[in-house]
Amino acid sequence: QQQVKQSPQSLIVQKGGISIINCAYENTAFDYFPWYQQFPGKGPALLIAIRPDVSEKKEGRFTISFNKSAKQFSLHIMDSQPGDSATYFCAASMIGSGGTSYGKLTFGQGTILTVHP
Amino acid sequence: DARVTQTPRDKVTEMGQEVTMRCQPILGHNTVFWYRQTMMQGLELLAYFRNRAPLDDSGMPKDRFSAEMPDATLATLKIQPSEPRDSAVYFCASGFRGGPGGDEQFFGPGTRLTVL
């Protein structure tokens, strides 16, 4: 119930194309869904996050689409650039108001994105 | 600018040796997490502290791993004795639970551990 499944494992896109990464979760108590971006040799960094009260959130070229009934969410990168080449992780947590489970992120397995110039 | 620092950045040791990794969370943050990253398992949560109190260490092998926060500016992760299967990158992350940033976690640069 704590799993977050991410696909694809790797993705190759041409410059200017759209990159789409998908995640599915099982625990309906999850109420916070961030995406993290990780460059080689660096720690992951928050890219964009969404709460389940909205179906879409956009920040620049990055958009999260959220489908609560299907328990799925996805990251869309528009006009993909070579500088976007990195590993992307979806995650989920329960923000809630307390308890030991709240605030813990459960990560997907990651997607290695390569954007060719 | 504020960032999480980790030392050492790289550690090569022999099987059976004790390894200590250190983390300085961002000043004012009240949550600290330790993660392990490997190709096979991805990012695994090992331990989680809030206000220096350990909340969850269910992801940590108890017989050899221990995590502590001696004070608000230092978190440590120890492995004793180390084994080759412990080879991984260990990340520390900090955040502020209850703050306007929600549950954003700020990751350090990681400690790459190689156990021979």
For the stretch B58-86, pLDDT in tens is 889 889 999 999 999 999 999 999 999 99
For chain B, the structural domain boundaries read 5-115
A37 in reach of chain B (CB within 8 A):
no
Q: Give the Cα separation of A56 and A93 in Å (integer).
A: 18
Report how far residue A97's alpha carbon sits from residue A31's, in angstroms, rounded to the nearest whole number: 12
**Chain A residues with beta carbon closer than 8 angstroms to that of B110:** 42-43
The full set of domains in chain A, from first to last, is 4-116 (2.60.40.10)
| 3-class SS of residue B85 | helix
DSSP B73: T
* Per-residue pLDDT in tens (0 to 9) along chain A, 117 residues: 568 999 999 999 999 999 999 999 999 988 889 999 999 999 999 999 998 889 999 999 999 999 999 999 999 999 999 999 999 999 998 876 555 556 788 999 999 999 999
User: Which residue from B4, B42, B104 is facing A109, i.e. has the nearest CB?
Assistant: B42
**What span, in angstroms and rounded, lies between the C-alpha atoms of A23 and A29?**
16
Please give the pLDDT value at position B96.
81
Distance from CA of A117 to the nearest CA of B (A): 26
Distance between CA atoms of B79 and B17, rounded to whole angstroms?
8
Q: Is B66 exposed, middle or buried, given 0-12, 13-18 or 19+ CB atoms closer than 10 A?
A: middle
> Which of B60, B96, B56, B52 has the alpha carbon at shortest distance from B80?
B60
With contacts defined as CB-CB under 8 Å, which chain A residues touch B55? 100
CB contact under 8 Å between B48 and A95, yes or no, is no
Q: Does pLDDT of B102 surpass 70?
A: no
Mind spelling out the 3-state secondary structure of A54-89?
A: CCEEEECCEEEEEECCCCEEEEEECCCCHHHCEEEE
- Paired strand residues for B115: B13
Instruction: With beta carbons under 8 A apart, name residues in chain B contacting A106.
Output: 45
| Three-state SS at B84 | helix
Q: Which fold has domain B5-115?
A: Immunoglobulin-like (2.60.40)
Token pair 């350090």: residue: B108
Q: Are the beta carbons of B43 and A89 separated by less than 8 Å? A: yes
